[in-house]
């Protein structure tokens, strides 16, 4: 039996990005009005171009480090470059996006009475000393390293969310997102899934940082979007933080070998030095998401990789630029 949905006006910052564009689609399918806000630093207009004719969809170019004055019922705050290549390009702006962006969106939520969700990250755990990572773990983050602009910016954003909740009784939700992949990833984002697929499709050497023994857990985008919406729709007593990710763990080398097999590529594996503060392992404990949201990911890696490979194959065939 289909659940009755009360239409809402929903703001998505970073809405033209990888996750944001999928979230826009899903919320429109549910019958909501969607205001998509993006400054196109890493987001792309083409990610939402197919939505522009929908009368319930609105696209606005705006940088969340500046205040935004709109009327909305809910806010998904996804705005921030999320890959090391992008967030290290302008680390000061990355920190501003996380911190000033959170302050501006929280101020908007306070004025309008909107419920607000923060897209936080597994990077708040740093290079973890416990495995898998539970929400109670405070993390092992280098506050002055090259990744700190993102890690500490997101940690500060979480602080702001909970302080606004305690001080102003805002209705908040905080999701800690683990590695997510799928169509509309940026080709130049430097993440292992997009890197490996593009290198394999082009017949280029596949670059492993270190010996490839570091582990990651890969969640397909459809599952992640389902988790975000379930968290937003959860009861007022569920604030988070809640881990959202796939608990099935793979080494980076195993991922590379699977991509080579699925693309039929002859690309060799080559080893490069590991970047500073690169986490050696990453896997979420999703017990809280399962218990409170009834959420567990369902898309197997092979199925999600096939859809992602097909997307990048089409992108190469179109000659689309990153």
Contact indicator for 109, 73 with CB cutoff of 8 Å: no
Residue 154: CB partners within 8 Å, gap ≥ 6? 80, 98, 120, 121, 123, 124
DSSP string, 218-254: -EEHHHHHHHHHHHHHS-TT----EEES---EEEHHH
Catalytic residue among 150, 164, 181, 220: 150
Quote the DSSP letter at residue 14: T
Establish whether 150 is a catalytic residue: yes
Q: Kindly tell me the sign of the dihedral angle through the C-alpha atoms of 87, 123, 181, 237.
A: negative
Torsion of CA 104, 106, 111, 114, to 10 degrees: 130
Q: Which of 219, 223, 227 shows the shortest CA–CA distance to 293?
A: 227
Quote the DSSP letter at residue 300: -
Active site amino acids: 150
């Amino acid at each position: 039996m289909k659940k009755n949905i009360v239409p809402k006006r929903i703001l998505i910052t970073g809405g033209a990005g990888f996750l944001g564009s999928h979230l826009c689609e899903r919320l429109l399918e549910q019958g909501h009005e969607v205001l998509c806000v993006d400054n196109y630093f890493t987001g792309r207009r083409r990610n939402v171009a197919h939505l522009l004719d929908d009368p319930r969809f609105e696209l606005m170019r705006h940088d969340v480090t500046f205040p935004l004055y709109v009327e909305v019922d809910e806010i998904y705050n996804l705005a921030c470059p999320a890959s090391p290549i992008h967030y290290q390009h302008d680390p000061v702006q990355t920190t501003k996006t996380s911190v000033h962006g959170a302050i501006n969106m929280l101020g908007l939520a306070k004025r309008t009475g909107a419920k607000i969700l923060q897209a936080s990250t597994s990077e708040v755990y740093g290079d973890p000393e416990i495995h898998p990572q539970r929400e109670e773990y405070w993390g092992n983050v280098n506050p002055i390293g090259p990744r700190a602009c993102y890690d500490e910016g997101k940690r500060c954003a979480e602080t702001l969310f909970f302080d606004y909740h305690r001080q102003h009784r805002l209705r908040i939700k905080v999701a800690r997102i683990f590695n997510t992949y799928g169509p509309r990833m940026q080709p130049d984002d430097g993440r292992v899934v997009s890197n490996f697929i593009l290198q394999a499709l082009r017949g280029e050497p596949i670059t492993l940082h270190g010996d490839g023994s570091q582990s990651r857990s890969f969640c397909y985008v459809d599952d992640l979007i389902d988790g975000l919406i379930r968290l937003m729709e959860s009861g007022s007593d569920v604030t988070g933080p809640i881990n959202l990710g796939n608990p099935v763990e793979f080494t980076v080398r195993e991922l590379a070998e699977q991509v080579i097999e699925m693309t039929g590529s002859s690309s060799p594996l080559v080893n490069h030095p590991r970047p500073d503060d690169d986490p050696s392992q990453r896997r979420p404990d999703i017990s809280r998401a399962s218990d409170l949201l009834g959420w567990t990911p369902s898309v197997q890696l092979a199925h999600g990789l096939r859809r992602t490979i097909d997307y990048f194959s089409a992108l190469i065939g179109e000659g689309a630029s990153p």
